[in-house]
Amino acid sequence: MADFILKGKSRTFRGEITPPGDKSISHRAVILGSLARGKTRASGFLVSRDTLATANAFRSMGIGVEVNAGEVEISGNGLFGLEAPREIIDAENSGTTARLLAGLLSAQSFPSTITGDSSLRSRPMSRVTVPLRMMGAVISGEGDTLPLRITGSELRGIDYGTPVASAQVKSALLLAGLYAAGRTSVTEPERTRDHTERMLRYFGVPVEAIGNCVSVGPGVEFSGNELEIPSDISSAAFFIVAALVNPGSEIIARNVGLNPLRTGALDILREMGADISVENRRECCGEPVGDIVARHCPLRAVRIEGESVSRAIDELPVISVAACFAEGETVISGAGELRVKETDRISAMAGELSKLGADIRETRDGMVINGTEELRGARCESRGDHRVAMSLAVAATRAQGETVIGDAGCVSISFPEFFSLFEALGDGK
């Protein structure tokens, strides 16, 4: 899909949706399943460009990975069973693939190279290579970016404090720590999503967590397992916000992961006055799950800062859309991490929403948004970023006139069916 076109008309979002599987958990299912001994089967797997990049990486290292319509079967060879990759590993657009594999490959007995597409090659990698080198990793590259050339080496455990809260950095070091001599501990300024820790425990690997510090020890072999991957709260967020800002709307998002370190978006939206409830709470494979009900209601402006930012970092683009229709001035600060995602999401959302008539300006580490009654249709660009594209689609539902979103096909990175579901649930009936 090159462009996506929304005709200016009244839309009501009603119905049920089971969003695609959680992208973060899908990556980790392939990684840990590949390091387990024996078969791992995971249902609810997100089949997307990002997760398939991880699957292809492990196929190139001798692991059987079969993906079939939302299910994946991994034939793991154990903690020390990876083979030298047959080719350069292409992480494509996936920062998770690149950074987590950098940690894992640093401990292997063979050399490897990780690259990616032009967007990923512009994203900083020193936040993961610096601590890995402190563990003894031999990593070379041109400056701070991909490609990275890794010479497998013997690692030693370290006690590392991350200067920036990053689940990818934490996970890379924990994976390296499975092979390091001694204990590896990672302390964050703020707690980030803990899917790696939860899945390691589910596979039977001891993980210690005290406050913001997480530790693992080396050499623990583990066996394959059965996994059920919950729906991605980041994907659900687009439909939740669409329901909140469009009169008469009510959406139920089924089987959504409710990891407390991922529900920052729900907390922020509730603070804005959102009518959001959770039903059928349960636990699945170590992760809390439930059904989210969202109904249209008026929203009010809030300040978004501190821990709320790290708990909602992927949802901030669509939260900025909600702020466009909230009464008052919403201020997002401390979100500089958004500048080093698939694109500079601060610049992208401020620039593209301005084209639609939003009263929004970017700051060094966030945005200031004044709410309005409605926007106006315009041509916008996704800038190759899936979350920008989907956020703009939500904004366009409250724009008078036609809105065109350029390069909308990038949604396949995380949510290939997004636009078909979006049209089906928001058909204006």
The residues near 358 (Cβ < 8 Å, ≥ 6 apart) are 324, 369, 372, 375, 395
Specify whether 291 is catalytic. no
Q: How many CA atoms lie within 13 A of 47 on its CB side?
A: 11
| Angstrom distance (rounded) from CA 195 to CA 192 | 9
CB distance 386 to 342 below 8 Å: yes
| Angstrom distance (rounded) from CA 92 to CA 171 | 19
- Quick one: which of 392, 422, 233 has its CA closest to 320? 392
3-state SS string over the chain? CCEEEECCCCCCCEEEECCCECHHHHHHHHHHHHHCEEEEEEECCCCCHHHHHHHHHHHCCCCEEEEECCEEEEEEECCCCCCCCCCCEECCCCHHHHHHHHHHHCCCCCEEEEECCCCHHHCCCHHHHHHHHHCCCEEEECCCCCCEEEECCCCECCEEECCCCCHHHHHHHHHHHCCCECCEEEECCCCCCCHHHHHHHHCCCCEEEECCEEEECCCCCCECCEEECCECHHHHHHHHHHHHHCCCCEEEEEEEECCCCCCHHHHHHHHCCCEEEEEEEEEECCEEEEEEEEECCCEECCEECCHHHHCCCCCHHHHHHHHHCEECEEEECCCHHHHHCCCCHHHHHHHHHHHCCCEEEEECCEEEEECCCCEECCEEECCCCHHHHHHHHHHHCCEECCEEEECHHHHHHCCCCHHHHHHHHCCCC
Which residue in the list 22, 50, 291, 314 is annotated as catalytic?
314
Q: How far is CA 137 from CA 7, 209, 243, in A?
A: 53, 24, 48
303: β partners: 331
Active site positions, annotated: 314
